[in-house]
Amino acid sequence: MIGDERRKILTDLAQRRGFVSLADLCAEVKTSESTIRRDLELLERGGAIRRTHGGAMAASDAVSVPAFEDRSRVSAAEKRAIGQAAARLVADGETVLLDGGTTTFEVARQLAGRSVQVVTNSLPIAYLLAGDRRVDLTLVGGYVYPRTGVAVGQLATQFLTSIHARRLIMSVAGITERGFFNSNTLLVETQAQMMRAVDEVIVVADHTKFGQQSLAFLCELGRVNRLVSDAALTESHRRTLRDAGLELIVASEDSP
C-alpha cells in the first residue's frame, strides 16, 4: 500500500471513531508501528489529525461551541504543555474528574488512549473521549452553559454528591493572592462540589490567568493541592503560590 493511500485510511479512521489506537491503525493497514508513527507525524503537520498518547484523533474533535473554540486558540502552545504535564500526574487505572475548559480539554487529549476512568461535566471532553475504547467515561448531567458547553447547576451538583474520584483537574478564570475565581456563579457551585468529591485538587492555568479577578470567588489558594502552569509565570506569582502551600509544576513547551 502506497503512503498516500495509507494516510487517507488513517485519517478516515480517526474521523469516524474520534480516537483510534496505534495498535488498531497498524492492524488496519498491516504495517509497522514505526511507519504509522511517521504517517501520523506528517498528518499532524498537515492539520488532519492530532497525535495523542497511544494513537491519534481527528483534528476537529470538539463539539462546536464557538466561545470554547475561540478561547482554545489563546495561549494554545502553553495549554498543550500544561495538558501534557497534568496528564502525567494521573496513573493508569485511576478515576479523574475533569471540569470544562480549554486547558482541561488539553489534559483530556493526553488521557486519550489510556486506561483511565474519566468523569466530566464537559460536552467537548465527553465528545472527545466517547469513542475511546480504553477510557471509561461518565458524563455529569445538568444545565449546559452555552458559552463553555459544561453542565452546571442543581442536577450536576446532586450527581457529584454520589461519586468519588482520586483527583480533580480543573480550570479557573482568574488567580490572585486572595484565591481562585471563575466567571459564572453556577460553575463555581459545581466546581466546589467537585472539590468535595476528590482526594486531590489540581488547577491547570496558563500565566495569563494570574492577577485576574473574575465574577465569582471559588476558594483560597491553600484549598488546592497542586497547580500546573507554563514557564512564563512570573517569579512573584510562583512565590505567592508556594507561600500558600501549593505544589507548583511548571510545564515546558519542549516536553514530549
Strands of the sheet with 49-52, listed across from one edge:
19-21, 55-58, 49-52
Dihedral sign, Cα of residue 256, residue 71, residue 137, residue 50? negative
Q: Give pLDDT tens digits along the chain (256 positions).
A: 677 888 888 888 877 776 778 888 888 888 888 888 888 888 877 667 777 777 887 765 545 554 555 555 556 889 999 999 999 999 999 999 999 988 999 999 899 889 999 999 999 899 888 878 889 999 999 999 887 889 999 999 999 999 999 999 999 999 999 999 998 899 999 999 999 999 999 999 999 999 999 889 999 999 999 999 999 999 999 999 999 999 999 998 655 4
Q: Are 118 and 96 in contact (CB under 8 A)?
A: yes
Distance CA 124, CA 62 (A): 5
Q: Are 225 and 246 in contact (CB under 8 A)?
A: yes
Supply 88's cell numbers.
502525567
Q: How many residues does the chain have?
A: 256
pLDDT at residue 71 in the model: 57
What domains lie within the chain, and their CATH numbers? 3-58 (1.10.10.10), 66-251 (3.40.50.1360)
Number of other CB atoms surrounding residue 181 within 10 Å = 20
**CB within 8 Å of 243: residues ≥ 6 apart:** none
Distance CA 120, CA 151 (A): 9
Q: Are 180 and 213 in contact (CB under 8 A)?
A: no
Pairing of strands 19-21, 55-58: antiparallel
Distance CA 243, CA 174 (A): 18
Q: Are 205 and 101 in contact (CB under 8 A)?
A: no
Q: Are 230 and 250 in contact (CB under 8 A)?
A: yes
